[in-house]
Structure 1
Amino acid sequence: MKKIFLLLVTALFLLSLYGCNTSSSSNNSTEQTTVTDTDDLSLDSDTDSETEFNYDLEIYYNDKKIDNLNLFDAFMPTEDGLIYSKINETSPNEIEYYRYYLDKKSSIKLGSIKDWTMQINDKAYVNNHLCFMASTGDITDEENRTLEFIDIDLNKNKMTTVFSDKGGFPYDTVTGADNLVIITKVLNNGTSLELYDTETQQFKQLKYLEFDDKNCVGKTIRKVSIDDKTKTICLLVLDCVSETDVSLKIETYDYDMNFLKSYDISNISDDSNELIQGVQFFDFRNNYLIYQNFSMTRCIGYIGNKKLQKSDMIDNIDDTYSMAQTPQKGYNTVLSFKDVDLERNIYLFNTIDKTMKKTKFKPEEENYYIGSMSRTGKDNLMIITTPDNADKKSNLNPKLYFTKLSDLNFQ
């Protein structure tokens, strides 16, 4: 099944400072196109050692500026600060990971990855462990790339490479909730769904879906969601009957992987090409589907009588509409924003009472838009605002705000 995916990565080396990238390629004889327009992070393997990849970020806490950080990526908020990465100043193909403490205004180094080239934004935060995938080597060449699974134990501030998979697929996914860390491994003829134990650092295969790579026939897992309330594992499955006959489905299982239900959501788009796209965000709970792919499709929809009904509660849903990153799954509310909106609107959708509320973040601020948003716990938010530099004359720095969801005035 790598045939249907590997074309995704042929142009993924060159990203801008904030990690945005676009690539496309012919996917099969029907000339359907698979697009990645992601916040994934990567480096060009021919990077000049003098190139500046790190940037200055102003840190705000309780509405006051408290510090500046020079970094490559603000990775994830914690209860007492954040995890961030930084490109080594003398060795640009080495990325370092740090933990920043708000009270001390200081950082400690957790570890590093050498010959680093890319990491996707999928991550799981479970049992105070942060787990994610990173690629080293040449990601366009299966013979010369390695996929590493990283576990950062925040109880001990210890970073461990749990496995290094020679030739591993750079877009393998990681999902976490309710003490579960679940990964997908894309293999030559299928997808392996595996459970990771943060205590033993061992893996257990939960399910295997076969895919005939030669004929592009079979099933593959696009994304995984975990509902801790119903103890349900939800798989977003691309089902290929032929190169031209594809469907997108949600398959639900209990924690013992007993099959429960299947929902066909192929009507999520009128364009069949959209069904084969890589998926950036997927959550399914209380019969609500929250979906964002790497192309143009965004959806908040209700599934009734096994049929997807799209919601019209958010106006003008387009490819600038983004969901907040959630290293911890299990929320009944969904946060989202439009990343080119200078009014900085944030939307809060409740999957229980079916309400949509909106607020403006920092309405007094001018010429900034929300670049990214990350959520851990029920109330902790990390919001990065980026200066509008349309005229390319701005000398303003991006700003990182630590704030509480409960402090935002949603109406």
Structure 2
Amino acid sequence: MKKIFLLLVTALFLLSLYGCNTSSSSNNPTEQTTVTDTDDLSLDTDTDSETEFNYDLEIYYNDKKIDNLNLFDALMPTEDGLIYSKINETSPNEIEYYRYYLDKKNSVKLGSIKNWSMQINDKAYVNNHLCFMASTGDITDEENRTLEFIDIDLNKNKMTTVFSDKGGFPYDTITGADNLVIITKVLNNGTSLELYDTETQKFKQLKYLEFDDKNSIGETIRKVSIDKSTKTISLLVLDCISQNEASLKIETYDYDMNFLKSYDISNISDDSNELIQGVQVFDFKNNYLFYQNFSITRCIGYIDSDKLKKSDISEDVDDTFSIVSASEDDSDTNLLYKRAESSSENNYIYLFDTTNKTMKETKFNIEEKGYTIGGISRIGKDNLMIMMSPDNTDEKSNLNPRIYFTKLSDLNFQ
């Protein structure tokens, strides 16, 4: 299954995932839209400076500048700072991972990955462990690439490569919540759903779906969502009936993987090509669906009489909106944001409560002009890390990107 779905990824994080061959346009390039989306750089070994990849980032806490960091990617906020990566100054094929403490204003090195080529957005934060996937080698060549599963124990500030899968698919997904870390492994002619134990560092297969690579027919798991309140696991399953016909459905299971229900959500889009696109956000809890693919489809909907119905709110949620994917699904609320398209407009953050089905909004602007929201990361219920990016439409901006640490409870939602 890997061979027919793997595509060359551009420097702007072209994350098109596996799907049916319904259309040659089913693998649309996608710009980097959140701070946690990491570019695939395919780094050249003869690069002699890190400045092409790392950049200066200003750190703000409670609206006050407290520090500067030189980094490649801000991976995830923590309760006391953030986890970030940086390209090695003398060896650009090596990426280093650090933990930054806001109160001490210093960083602790966690580990590094040599011959690094790419890391995707998906992460799981469970039991104070940060788990994610990274690829080494040539990601376009199955014979010369390796997929690594990384576990950072934040109790010990220790980074461990749990496994190295030669030829592993670079876009395997990972989801975490309620002591569960679940990954989907794309294999030849199938997808394996596996549970990872942060204490034993062992894996257990939960489910396997077959896919006929040669004929592009079968089922594959797009994304996984975990609902802590109902103790259910939801799979977003793409069913390729033929090379020209596909459906999209949600399958729900209990924690023991006993099947509960299935919902066809193919009406999420009138364009069949949209159904097979790579999926950035899939969150299904309290019967509410939050969906965002790497093309143009965004949906806030709910299941009624076993069918997907789009919320009235969805009518105003177009491709200028982004849904915030939390590393730790520990809340009954979801965040969205709409970035200002010019310095004269406002940035908006939206808070949707899946329990009482209400949407509130707040403006998020900073005093200095020329900044828009570049991305938001969330951990737990209250910790936010908001990336403010220079509005460089004229390509003349000399402003540095900024990160603002804030509490969700401190934002004035109305």
Match of 1:14 among 11, 14, 31: 11
1:126 match: 126
TM-superposition CA deviations, 1:194-245 (whole Å, max 9, x none): 0000000000000001111111111100000000110000000001111112
1:403 counterpart SS class: strand
2:48 match: 49
1:301 match: 301
Is residue 356 from structure 1 mapped to residue 359 from structure 2 by the alignment?
yes
1:240 match: 240
Of the structure 1 ranges 53-62 and 153-162, higher mean CA displacement relative to structure 2 is found in: 53-62
Aligned-pair Cα RMSD in Å: 1.8
TM-superposition CA deviations, 1:156-215 (whole Å, max 9, x none): 000000000000000000100000000000000100000000000000000001111111
Task: For 1:284 and 1:182, locate their aligned partners in 2 and report how far apart those are by CA, in whole Å.
Answer: 15
TM-superposition CA deviations, 1:125-168 (whole Å, max 9, x none): 00000000000011011111100000000000000000000000
Task: For 1:196 and 1:222, locate their aligned partners in 2 and report how far apart those are by CA, in whole Å.
Answer: 18
Amino acid corresponding to residue 38 of structure 2 in structure 1: D
Distance 1:302 1:365, change over 3 A: farther
Identity, % of aligned positions: 75
Of the structure 1 ranges 181-190 and 51-60, higher mean CA displacement relative to structure 2 is found in: 51-60
Task: For 2:20 and 2:251, locate their aligned partners in 1 and report how far apart those are by CA, in whole Å.
Answer: 25
1:137 match: 137
What is the 5 A alignment of 1:281-300?
A: 281-300=281-300
Task: For 2:309 and 2:271, locate their aligned partners in 1 and report how far apart those are by CA, in whole Å.
Answer: 17
Amino acid corresponding to residue 14 of structure 1 in structure 2: A
What is the 5 A alignment of 1:148-297?
A: 148-297=148-297
What is the 5 A alignment of 1:287-366?
A: 287-313=287-313, 316-341=316-341, 342-362=345-365, 364-366=367-369
Of the structure 1 ranges 360-369 and 300-309, higher mean CA displacement relative to structure 2 is found in: 360-369
1:161 counterpart SS class: strand
Amino acid corresponding to residue 257 of structure 1 in structure 2: M
Of the structure 1 ranges 97-106 and 41-50, higher mean CA displacement relative to structure 2 is found in: 41-50
Per-residue deviation, 1:41: 2.4
Per-residue deviation, 1:339: 3.6
Distance 1:313 1:158, change over 3 A: same
Match of 1:405 among 398, 401, 408: 408
TM-superposition CA deviations, 1:237-263 (whole Å, max 9, x none): 001111112100000000000000000
Per-residue deviation, 1:363: 5.4
1:33 match: 26
| Structure 1, unpaired ranges of 5+ | none
TM-superposition CA deviations, 1:318-375 (whole Å, max 9, x none): 3232112311013211101124544110011111111111101135442211001011
Task: For 2:121 and 2:252, locate their aligned partners in 1 and report how far apart those are by CA, in whole Å.
Answer: 24
Match of 2:379 among 373, 376, 381: 376
Task: For 1:365 and 1:284, locate their aligned partners in 2 and report how far apart those are by CA, in whole Å.
Answer: 37
Per-residue deviation, 1:31: 3.3
Of the structure 1 ranges 236-245 and 32-41, higher mean CA displacement relative to structure 2 is found in: 32-41
Task: For 1:218 and 1:24, locate their aligned partners in 2 and report how far apart those are by CA, in whole Å.
Answer: 15
Task: For 2:180 and 2:233, locate their aligned partners in 1 and report how far apart those are by CA, in whole Å.
Answer: 10
Higher relative contact order (CA 8 A, sep 6+): 2
Of the structure 1 ranges 34-43 and 70-79, higher mean CA displacement relative to structure 2 is found in: 34-43
Per-residue deviation, 1:401: 0.6
Task: For 1:326 and 1:276, locate their aligned partners in 2 and report how far apart those are by CA, in whole Å.
Answer: 23
Count of aligned pairs between the two proteins:
404
Tell me, yes or no, if the aligned pair for 1:24 and 1:33 is still in contact at 8 Å.
Answer: no
In the superposition, the TM-score normalised over structure 1's length comes to 0.94
Tell me, yes or no, if the aligned pair for 1:197 and 1:203 is still in contact at 8 Å.
Answer: yes
Per-residue deviation, 1:45: 3.4
Amino acid corresponding to residue 346 of structure 1 in structure 2: I
TM-superposition CA deviations, 1:26-47 (whole Å, max 9, x none): 9637535222414332212336
Distance 1:24 1:121, change over 3 A: closer
Tell me, yes or no, if the aligned pair for 2:19 and 2:276 is still in contact at 8 Å.
Answer: no
Distance 1:153 1:228, change over 3 A: same
Tell me, yes or no, if the aligned pair for 2:5 and 2:17 is still in contact at 8 Å.
Answer: no
